[in-house]
């Protein structure tokens, strides 16, 4: 009989302690420890059996003797999903997908399971019944139009029962909806607790690595926006994806937070429709608003998200402060960086903005960290302050320094090519980006090279 013991776990980071602590020594959170009863089973018996019936025994190998063979990825019909994963699904990978309730995580994964061609997919649900999943599947991909392989639905929460069905079915990919609903018989605590989430993820990780079967885990998030469960959960998996968006709008963003097999800065954009999620191959169609006349305070910037160039719209509003302290508000942009740019405008360019309310918004709901939009932000603020509009055929791609200089940004060729493709006539870049740049390649767009903010203002506003 295994010995039963209890331990205290931090609900924020998963730190384990033999006694209750008021403050977690790992993440410094207060009153986050909860007691959980743990009963360890016989760990020498595997939870599942491999195809050969024997578990693989790892042995040390000299790094010079290891033969590197690049594994072929599973290419899905969803090009946005392939881009975020780094080129497709890696065999044996463990992917965690988090997002707010009702944002469309289950819809995304069920749509993927129904459309993977020639593959046997097991969709394990601990939250919905078979009838509910069937209704959604008919809405996403009716049986008469379905082009994918075989999709099997299993409504189960016990990992022991799930592995028994996996051994019988032998699927080529497994989807778990959600990891917080699973429970293992070896841990005597409720589903969703720190120890249960950690144990269930560890069992699925062993299964994925030893059978080279990709496993997708859907995870809930807390009110702070972090994935529920211990922080170690994100360290155990290979890839962490965040599904973002506003439930009151139709657009969703799939963002890679961690990726061991590709870039961690990629994103995919979807449009939520009645028949499922539609891929948005040209993000500029939603990031640039359609307007009939030129308005002050609006500029266009050429930014990069991962390997994808995008044109985004920056909106600024400057007005006289009605209160003693001016307001500073930014949506989709770092407020501290906006305050820094305002200080540069006041110190280096002589604009009196200390008594003005300044509001900044990045259209489309994106959160932008690319410093290349600095110049667009500065021009939008001055455009609103002077109430002079900027042409809709002009875009910007440059960083602004503290001394007012225009700094170079990386991969300027891709930014210029994207602006030219969308019909822009002028793009302002740093003169330090001209080194190695073949200007003759771009025949339909004029490249303006500047080194100071004053040069931009004199060119645009006279």
406-407/446-450 β-pairing: unpaired
**What number of CA atoms fall less than 13 Å from residue 42's CA on the CB side?**
4
Q: Locate 9 and state its tokens.
A: 């776990």
Return the SS3 of 129: coil
d(CA 229, CA 14): 7
Annotated binding residue 105: yes
Strands 328-331 and 308-320 come out as unpaired
Helix then strand then coil, in percent of the chain rounded to 5, is 30, 30, 45
Question: Is 104 annotated in some ligand binding site?
Answer: yes
Q: Residue written as tokens 């508000």?
A: 329
Bond before 194 cis per omega within 30 degrees: no
Tokens (6 digits) for 204: 């699925």
Ramachandran region, residue 127 (left: φ > 0; alpha: ψ -120 to 50; beta: rest): alpha
- Angle of helix 159-169 versus helix 194-211 axis, rounded to 10: 20
| C-beta atoms surrounding 227 within 10 Å | 24
Please report the beta strands in 321-377, taking only residues with DSSP state E, as ranges in sequence order.
328-331, 356-362
* 2's tokens: 């295994």
Rounded to the nearest 10 degrees, what angle do helices 374-386 and 453-461 cross at?
Answer: 50
SS3 state at 90? coil
Judge whether 126 is annotated as a binding position: no
Residue 445, number of CB atoms within 10 A of its CB:
20
Measured CA angle at 263 (ends 116, 235), to 5 deg: 85
106 is in an annotated binding site: yes
Q: Where are the beta strands (DSSP E) in 220-297?
A: 239-245, 251-259, 267-273, 276-279
Distance CA 298, CA 128 (A): 45
The answer to whether 103 is annotated as binding is yes
Distance between CA atoms of residues 277 and 261, nearest Å:
25
DSSP state of 55: P
Q: From the centroid of its chain, how far is CA 376?
A: 24
Say whether 98 counts as a known binding-site residue: no
Q: Which residues participate in the annotated binding site?
A: 99-106
Q: Which residues participate in the annotated binding site for ATP?
A: 99-106
């Amino acid at each position: 009989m295994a010995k039963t013991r209890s331990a205290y776990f931090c609900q924020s980071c998963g730190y384990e302690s033999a006694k209750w602590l008021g403050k977690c020594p790992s993440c410094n959170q207060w009153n986050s420890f909860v007691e959980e009863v743990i009963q360890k089973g016989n760990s020498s018996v595997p939870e599942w059996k491999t195809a050969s019936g024997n578990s693989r025994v790892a042995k040390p190998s000299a790094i010079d003797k290891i033969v590197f063979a690049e594994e072929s990825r599973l290419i899905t019909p969803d090009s946005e999903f392939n881009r975020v994963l780094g080129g497709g699904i890696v065999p044996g990978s463990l992917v965690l997908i988090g997002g707010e309730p009702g944002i469309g995580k289950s819809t995304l994964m069920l749509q993927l399971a129904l459309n993977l061609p020639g593959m046997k997919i097991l969709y394990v649900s601990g939250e919905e019944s078979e009838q509910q999943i069937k209704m959604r599947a008919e809405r996403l991909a009716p049986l008469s139009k379905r082009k994918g392989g075989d999709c099997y639905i299993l409504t189960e929460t016990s990992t022991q029962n799930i592995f028994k069905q996996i051994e019988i079915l032998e699927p080529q990919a497994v989807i778990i909806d959600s990891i917080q609903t699973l429970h293992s018989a070896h841990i005597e605590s409720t589903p969703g607790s720190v120890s249960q989430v950690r144990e269930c993820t560890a069992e699925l990780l062993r299964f994925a690595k030893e059978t080279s079967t990709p496993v997708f885990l859907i995870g809930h998030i807390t009110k702070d926006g972090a994935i529920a469960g211990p922080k170690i959960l994100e360290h155990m998996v290979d890839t962490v994806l965040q599904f973002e968006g506003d439930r009151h709008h139709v657009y969703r963003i799939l963002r890679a937070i961690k990726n061991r097999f590709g870039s961690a800065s990629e994103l995919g954009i979807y449009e939520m429709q009645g028949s499922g999620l539609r891929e948005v191959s040209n993000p500029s169609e939603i990031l640039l608003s359609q307007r009939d006349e030129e308005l002050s305070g609006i500029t266009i910037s050429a930014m990069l998200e991962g390997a994808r160039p995008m044109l985004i719209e920056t909106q600024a509003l400057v007005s006289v402060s009605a209160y003693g302290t001016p307001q500073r508000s930014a949506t989709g942009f770092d407020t501290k960086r906006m305050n820094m740019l305002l200080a540069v405008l006041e110190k280096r360019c002589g604009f009196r903005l200390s008594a003005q309310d300044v509001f900044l918004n990045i259209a489309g709901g994106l959160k932008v960290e690319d410093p290349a939009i600095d110049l667009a932000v500065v021009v939008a603020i001055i455009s609103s302050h002077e109430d002079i509009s900027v042409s809709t055929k002009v875009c910007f791609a440059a960083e602004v320094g503290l001394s007012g200089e225009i700094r170079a940004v990386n991969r300027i060729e891709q930014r210029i090519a994207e602006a030219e493709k969308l019909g822009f006539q002028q793009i302002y870049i740093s003169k330090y980006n001209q080194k190695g740049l073949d200007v003759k390649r771009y025949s339909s767009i004029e490249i303006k090279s500047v080194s100071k903010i004053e040069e931009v203002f004199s060119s645009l506003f006279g």
